[in-house]
Structure 1
Amino acid sequence: MILVKFDKEIKGTSTVEKYKEWIEFESYSLNVSRHVQVQGNDRDVGQAFISEFLLTKGADKTSPEFFIQSLVGTAFDSATIVVLHAAGSSKTSQELLQITLTKPVVSSFSTQCTANNRPTEHLSLNFINIKYKYVHFDGDVNKGSVEKSYDVFAKA
């Protein structure tokens, strides 16, 4: 399960304890790449490029807000994305991944629908800093976490 909360009050439909009214998403995508040129015995490694954070969800009560945000371009202070998974014998929801974006802006909003289906929406978030935290589990036992961050402006 992918849940997102923005610092601005945008109430979603999540009923998960600790994440009530967070926004439910179906998928996300983030890409990092760099140009690497090999010539003879030399390899030139270019600067890294990080994509915008792409999110996909079904239309819901947050749809009009994201539509407007894509038009006005106002930055939020932050957005927190969590990925939950069912762990251990009790199958309780555990936070496996947490990604925090600083100053995200809805840079793109698109919606599509086919007959007799719920509309699907795609959002792109541009950001200036990303914090990426992974929590390791052995069954339902938390074995610790690893966290890294990257500043887009400082490139570090």
Structure 2
Amino acid sequence: MEDLKTITDFIPFAIKPLHLQAIDRMMRIPHVEDCALLDSKSGEIVSANKALALRLSNSDAKQLVDIFADPNTTRARGTVQFLHREYEVIRADSYSLYCQTEASHGLIAVNGEKYVTVVSYNSSMIASISVEAAERMGEYFENGGDEFMPGKIDSL
């Protein structure tokens, strides 16, 4: 019994109800594999779906957030390593990062003043819907995010 750990042993961050609601809503979209909110200043994990939370460390999150400090270097390098997977950079600027693997797995990060929204998708999902979901969630939190996003994500 000593080997058993609770979920809180693996998740090193406090999940706020609003952020949990946002992640839950994103995970209902059939074209979102994983989703997280990261603090855009510190790079700390604010919230993530359970499967991603078990794999994502604060150092992984910080590495992703740091890309927005110098997207030109990331674009020139052409690849991003994230959670033991190498992604080809499709687009990198101060607002967004779009990456994809050869196997059509994708990673999208949308940078905002408070949060970086991270969404991943797999080869059975439609990338453009995943991108739109990430952008809408990022926009929602940048525009206040005081109440949960009625209609923002549900229409996807």
Same fold (TM over 0.5): no
Please state which structure has a larger fraction of its residues in strand.
1
- TM-score norm. by structure 2 comes to 0.30
Larger radius of gyration: 1
